[in-house]
Amino acid sequence: MTTAEILLVDDDPGAIQLMARMLAGAGHLRFATNGLAALQLARDKPPDLVLLDAEMPGMSGFEVCTALKADPLLKHSPVVFVTSHSQPEFELSGFECGAADFIAKPVSEPLMRARVQTQLRLKRLHDELTRVATVDALTGVSNRRRFDEALGREWLRGLRTGAPISLLMIDIDHFKRFNDRYGHPAGDQALRSVALALAAACRRPVDLAARFGGEEFALLLPDTARAGAARVAQRVFDGLAALAIAHADSPTAAELTVSIGIGFYDDASASWLAPSADSSFLREVDRRLSAGELLGVADLALYAAKGSGRACAYGLDIADIDAPTMAARVAGRARRMLQGGGS
């Protein structure tokens, strides 16, 4: 079981120290003495529980709670207000902005620990139910729903921080012929084996391997520029080669292979949108591009990889989505791929 992340927020350092002593051993504790700092800490690493003072100078606890619940990445982190107010109207306002519970000051240590443990148990249950609902039943990697959510979330985070992001679209070459030759049970086992190879190629917790649909998979790589994405693609090829799954009816190779399309986005990708590489380009990108463009350019790159003979990787920068030369290049390869037939 992973250690719970607990965020303590109070403008009184003494109150934070008191709660920290009471919660020793309950989880990994982080601290903030104002609302803005609390939101920054939460966005850096989503907490499993937030203990929040209602009355703080500047940004109030109610405003912090509202901001947390409005953030898709943080909305499932339970918020418990720690306050000296006991009026029904006060608590009602807290519940309306998304609070899970209230703890009255002066704080009782047994009550504090009991309510914290209750909220952490509920959070673990929620996380487990979410995991089950977002895992592909056949392969064990993430499903399309979780991929779509992660792609949208990481795209927005990249816009906010300026971090690069890469996306690999992976298609099993001539998979229909594989099923026709070996049967669907063998095809299912091949899908599971490929999924394991993709998951093994992901070395960081933030990387996401997902089944996109049918025999197509995706690898989402936050904070990864093109060189890192190329290394991951090579690990995919190496992992699949080690499996050595026979594919006697493949015109590409005697063993099962994949084609990989890689879409890139980083600061340099946006140079065509803004005259200088400063923070202003982020606002322009936010208006003109979305996560869908990254998915689209990775899909174009996948078609290019197939048109180049399959069993290879092809990369495209998101800045090329409006470039006529890129469109002509991909169209030519796509035509050759279609003339060859197969999947």
What span, in angstroms and rounded, lies between the C-alpha atoms of 35 and 37? 5
Q: Annotated catalytic, 215?
A: yes
What span, in angstroms and rounded, lies between the C-alpha atoms of 153 and 169? 18
Cβ-contact 30, 7 below 8 angstroms: yes
E strands of 282-338, at which residues?
313-317
Q: How many CB atoms lie within 10 A of CB 272?
A: 15
220 token code pair: 């989402």
What span, in angstroms and rounded, lies between the C-alpha atoms of 97 and 126? 20
| Active-site option among 5, 215, 216, 293 | 215
Nearest CA to 313 out of 241, 243, 229, 214 is that of 229
Q: How many CB atoms lie within 10 A of CB 90?
A: 16
53: part of which helix (H) or strand (E)? strand 49-53
- CA angle (209, 129, 131) in 5-degree steps: 10
- Enumerate the active-site residues: 215
